[in-house]
Amino acid sequence: SSISSEVKQLAQKAKENSLKPEDYEGGTFTVSNLGGPFGIKQFCAIINPPQSGILAVGSAEKRVIPSSGPEQFQFASFMSVTLSCDHRVIDGAIGAEWLKAFKGYIEN
């Protein structure tokens, strides 16, 4: 309940543009979601020093996927995410492995 309360306070500060660096100090990783609330399809987020990475989450959209027959199709939801890493802390190959695991969890 205390985490929920703090998150709500920080979200309110963000909406009011009164979020200060000391409000998010001490973190190691950020998730930035502009997809859900703002409908942004894809973006690249900038790392908040001294954090090691940030995941930019875009909006989900339905797309048509061809199926087995010529007149058959299915719908699926697709979402773009972009991972930015501080390469002094996280090697790009390690970041790619993390993103691959994240993709697997989201898809399943």
Locate the domains of the chain by residue range: 27-107
Taking domain 27-107, whether its CATH number is 3.30.559.10 is answered by: yes
Active site residue 23: no
Active site residue 87: yes
Tally of CB atoms within 10 A around 90:
16
- Token pair, residue 57, equals 């989450």
pTM of the model: 0.75
Chain segment 37-65, per-residue pLDDT in tens: 899 999 999 998 889 999 999 999 999 98
Catalytic member of 9, 91, 102, 106: 91
Catalytic member of 8, 41, 87, 103: 87
Contacts of 59 (CB under 8 A, 6+ apart): 35, 36, 38, 39, 40, 41, 79
The percent of residues above 70 in pLDDT, for the chain, comes to 100
Work out the average pLDDT over 93-107.
Answer: 95
